[in-house]
Amino acid sequence: MRYLPLAFDVKDRPCLIIGGGSIATRKARLLQKARARIVVVSPDITKELHQMVIDSSGEWHRATYSAEYLDLADLVIAATNSVAVNGSVSTDARERRLPVNAVDAPELCTFTFPAIVERGDLSIGISSGGAAPVLARRIRAQLEALLSPGLASLVDLAARMRSKVKASLPEARRKNFWEWVFAGPVARRAEAGQLENAEKEILAALQDWQGSPNPIGEVYLVGGGPGDPDLLTFRALRLMQQADVVLYDRLVSPEVLDLVRRDAERIYVGKRKAFHAVPQDGINQLLVDLALQGKKVLRLKGGDPFIFGRGGEEIDKLADASIPFQVVPGITAAAGCASYAGIPLTHRDHAQSVRFITGHLKEGSLDLPWGELASGSQTLVFYMGLTGLEKICAELVRHGLPVGTPAALIEKGTTQAQRVIIGDLNTLPSLAEEKAVRAPTLTIIGGVVSLHEKLNWYQAG
């Protein structure tokens, strides 16, 4: 590490910029955000920079650089288009032990400007020591996407409440309290701009924390998508990093599970044919019990929790127990797997509607509205339909769908192990057996399947 990351308090302090062009103006914008008093030495100056000087109660000296101007500064930026002038500024500033930055010349700098992610008074600097500024900016863009824009409001709330919390809780409990604030419903309300409600909730929680050793936790019901971790939402990823314990399904891919906080406790509650690691009622109760222990509980499901995921049953139990929860949708298997197979679910020439159907056999029967499903101009997507595939194809043909209707099986869709098997209602069951297709597999039936060969872009399996 060449540079030591530090945060300068420059509020109302004179910061000197040598130069008045576009580069100087960009540096001045950062100083303005930090509420510095901007002093400029340059024969010419941009209109924007001039206004920033006025707004900061600063000074503009219409002159070329000379060393005596350094006496006006606590911090110096050389932003001219002259290498010689910037070098002189750096040398003179070092002699005076003033921190100096020379734009695009790391060898002349005693400090550099990092790529900054800003949320009000919360700021994150990413620096490569001047070696790879483009890479630093790329990392900044990634962090910008991950961090909620409403964090500035949360920081303001914390600043207002800090003394109240300090007076109400002993030091040993304050850290855990703030962890709860920043990871729970208070943070969500603050980020949404509901500061008054957020403040009331903090005050109420302080009373609970003063009298209770185990304040109630929260449950995050999160859709993990069909398998590719790049398909996770930003909110899903944030909550996965906050959880104390995670309950995960069989359909959650290892790559997605790897993104959960490393020290979180992991509990497998997956289901497969004729075997449930934990019965659904047990899962519902476990979510309640863990939250009552004050834990942040991540219920991680493959796909979307409200599409054949029984997420509604789980949060119904949480609501009955007055447990705070939030739901994060995920890309459902139908959308994700079809896209990665090059099969559009709707298309003007083939399908004007799409239906998601559970193909799970219950007690050996599959009672579905076959007449409706066999009508044309629609796409049928069967979840959990591998076991009943022969019956599904036969019933659709029996109710009028042409035997040559294109059909596809997508095994482990969106992952590196994805396989796409293309056939029709007549051949698909035998192809599934011949290719030894295994769950998780999605079945898509309809004219759109005929587009796979042309539109297939994801070469896997």
Count of domains forming the chain: 4
How far apart are the C-alpha atoms of 456 and 208, rounded to whole Å?
56
Is 135 domain-assigned? no
Q: What is the mean pLDDT of each run of 10 residues along the chain (461 residues)?
A: 84 97 95 96 97 97 96 96 96 97 92 88 85 88 86 92 90 80 85 90 87 78 96 93 93 94 92 67 94 92 93 94 94 96 95 92 76 93 93 96 97 95 97 95 96 89 51
**Looking at the domain assignment, is residue 136 inside a domain?**
no
Residue 209's pLDDT is: 83
Query: Is residue 311 located within the same domain as residue 343?
Result: no
Which positions are annotated as active-site residues? 249, 271
Q: Are residues 207 and 222 in the same domain?
A: no
- DSSP, residue by residue, 61-91: E-S---GGGGGG-SEEEE--S-HHHHHHHHH
My answer on whether 106 and 19 are in the same domain is yes
Distance CA 274, CA 384 (A): 13
The pLDDT of residue 270 is 83
322 shares its domain with 355: no
Please return the burial class of 44, using the count of CB atoms within 10 Å of its CB with bins 0-12, 13-18 and 19+: exposed
Are 320 and 339 found together in one domain? no
CATH number, residue 92: 3.40.50.720
Q: How many helices (H) and strands (E) are present in the chain, helices listed first? A: 17, 19
Let me know whether 169 and 91 are in one domain. Answer: no
Same domain, 239 and 198: no
Position 418, amino acid: Q
CATH of the domain at 416: 3.30.950.10
Q: Are residues 69 and 157 in the same domain?
A: no
Domain boundary among 188, 211, 234: 211
Last residue of a domain, one of 299, 328, 357: 328
- Answer whether residue 359 is part of any domain: yes
Asked if residue 274 and residue 178 are part of one domain, the reply reads no
Same domain for 200 and 306, yes or no, is: no
> Residues within the annotated binding site for S-adenosyl-L-methionine?
226, 302-304, 307, 332-333, 384, 413
Nearest C-alpha neighbor of 308 from the set 419, 220, 223? 223
Measured CA to CA, the distance from residue 52 to residue 65 in angstroms comes to 20
Last residue of a domain, one of 67, 95, 113: 113
Q: Is residue 379 part of a domain?
A: yes
Whether 64 is in a domain gets the answer yes
Tell me which residue of 18, 13, 9 sits closest to 92, measured CA to CA. Answer: 18
The CATH number of the domain holding residue 251 is 3.40.1010.10
In a domain, 127, yes or no: no
- Residues placed in the known binding site: 22-23, 43-44, 226, 302-304, 307, 332-333, 384, 413
d(CA 148, CA 293): 28
Residue 214 has a pLDDT of 62
Spatial distance between the Cα atoms of 362 and 405, rounded to a whole number of angstroms: 26
Residues 443 and 346 reside in one and the same domain: yes
DSSP state of 184: S
Residue 169: give the domain boundaries.
Answer: 151-211
Same domain? For 318 and 370 the reply is no
Query: Does the residue 448 lie in any domain?
Result: yes
> Which residues face 421 on adjacent strands?
409
Distance (Å, whole) CA 25 – CA 185: 40
Decide: 333 and 383 in contact? Cβ < 8 Å: yes
- Kindly state whether residue 142 falls inside one of the protein's structural domains: no
